[in-house]
Amino acid sequence: MKYLKKYKLFTEEADFDVNITDEPDLKMAKEKLATLKTNLADYKTKKPIIDAAYLTIKIDDDLQKKTEEIMGKTDIQSGKDRNPFLVEYLHVSNLKRKINNLQNELVKDKLSKDDFTEELSLSTESSTKASINSKISDITNRISAKTTNIALLSKEVTDAEKELQTKMFNVEKEMQDYIKKISSKV
């Protein structure tokens, strides 16, 4: 008999079907489990799509349309809930996008600094040299500011990703606890 109970738990974990004879608490727990299971699976499949969209799409309106296409427009009050894990991951993707943009600007600044340094070496007039030196110092200041900003944003990204992973782990653990509660009631 104990093997039959384990098989029943196995089949119940597989699909979490709500039966008509289920008590309201059990029914609600099964529905919550099914929602959590789909949210976790949805997160794993749509995360790379969101990353690709945030790193390739340059126009904000197009990016918003793409995220609405991926996740939907509705919020909790107006209809079907959006996946909370994906909503939180949008913040991480936005930070990654800012880092990518800063890195691109950093490369441009370094190239222009190299151009001005070369122009400085070719210049003979003192007024031109002073002007180029001031431009080089401005670019150097921007480069250092962007470098520190990138470091801060990178730390924020790792912290946000770690927090999201911890939250997902806790939700999965909660889901397993619900499975145990459901199986003990059956």
Task: State the pLDDT at residue 172.
Answer: 82
Choose among 66, 132, 53, 65: nearest CA to 93.
53
- How many CB atoms are located within 10 Å of the residue 113 CB? 18
Question: Of 168, 181, 182, which is closest to residue 37 (Cα–Cα)?
Answer: 168
Lookup: tokens for 32: 């919550």
Q: Give the Å distances, CA to CA, from 15 to 34, 60, 176.
A: 8, 39, 14
Length reported for the chain: 186
Q: Tokens at residue 132, please? A: 């180029």
d(CA 44, CA 86): 9
pLDDT tens over the chain, length 186 residues: 455 455 555 554 545 565 565 666 667 777 777 788 888 888 889 999 999 999 888 888 888 888 888 887 765 444 466 788 888 899 999 999 999 999 999 999 999 999 999 988 888 888 888 999 999 999 999 999 999 999 999 999 999 999 999 998 898 888 778 777 776 665
Cα–Cα distances in Å, from 129 out to 112, 118, 123, 133, 140? 16, 11, 6, 6, 16
Look up residue 62 and give its two tokens: 């197009």
pLDDT for res 73? 72
Q: Is the pTM of this model over 0.85?
A: no
d(CA 170, CA 148): 33
pLDDT at 77: 45
